[in-house]
A = this chain, B = another copy of it.
Amino acid sequence: MEKNDRISPAVIRRLPKYYRYLGELNKVGVNKTSSRELSDMTGFSASQIRQDLNNFGGFGQQGFGYDVGNLRNEIGKILGLDKKYKIIIVGAGNIGQAIANYTGFYEADYEVVALFDKNPKLIGLSIRNALIMDSDDLEEFLKKEHIDIAVICTPKSVSQQVAEQLVRCGIRAIWNFAPKDLKMPEDVYVENVHLNESLFSLTYYYNKMKKESK
């Protein structure tokens, strides 16, 4: 599908945003758009949007624009949102439960199959059809079920160890919420959600703004 094998991460990071806005246009019945209009919505420059999309081939028509439904579909295919994904969550605390409760990963087929925790008070409870299981049973579970994505929501002290266990059982994609960088083999992809770092950046810009407005 790709014209080019190696697409810059910056491009990949922007695709979900295009996808979201195309979904919104779709929902209100707009079926034609342009890089200009997408630029107004996303804040990225029109030429950057065209350049981005051209990495994957021409989805638009010169002189006309883009077909909303088609472009959304193509971006979905690039991201892999046309497939189903089974997810487990390790660590059923605040964040783990919040994610399990979340119904808004709409437009794509993610299913939280189970959660794992070591806290006996949590084991046995269910969150939206997903059972919280004993983390001692994790390896056995993974031997039987095919899971695409594991979410790590444990304290950082055990995150590396949990990640290694997951990888031993065949997991290749980890969504990591613990504030720790996992040391993983090359063929495991880790997407970090480092909320601390996000808040610290925010703090920097907040202070910068205050200083400048003085």
Q: Which residues of A contact B (CB under 8 A)?
A: 12-13, 15-17, 19-20, 42-43, 78-81, 83, 85, 94-95, 97-99, 101-102, 104-105, 108, 110, 148-149, 172-173, 175, 179, 181, 187, 189, 191, 193-207, 209-210, 213
Contact = CB atoms under 8 A, between A and B. Distances in A.
A204 to B, nearest CB: 5
A17 B207 CA distance: 19
A197 B17 contact: yes
Given A79-B203, A198-B193, A204-B15, A94 B85 contact: no
Given A148-B206, A206-B149, A209-B189, A200 B94 contact: no
Contacts of A81: 200, 203
A101 B108 contact: no
B105 A94 contact: no
Contact of A205 (B98, B104, B105, B191): B191
A201 B108 contact: no
A174 B32 CA distance: 33
Contacts of A101: 94
Contact of A172 (B102, B175, B210): B210
Given A16-B196, A43-B181, A173-B205, 13 more contacts: A16-B200, A17-B194, A19-B200, A20-B196, A79-B204, A80-B207, A108-B200, A108-B203, A172-B210, A173-B202, A175-B199, A187-B213, A191-B199
Contacts of A148: 206
B191 A209 contact: no
B172 A206 contact: yes
Given A179-B104, A201-B12, A206 B189 contact: yes
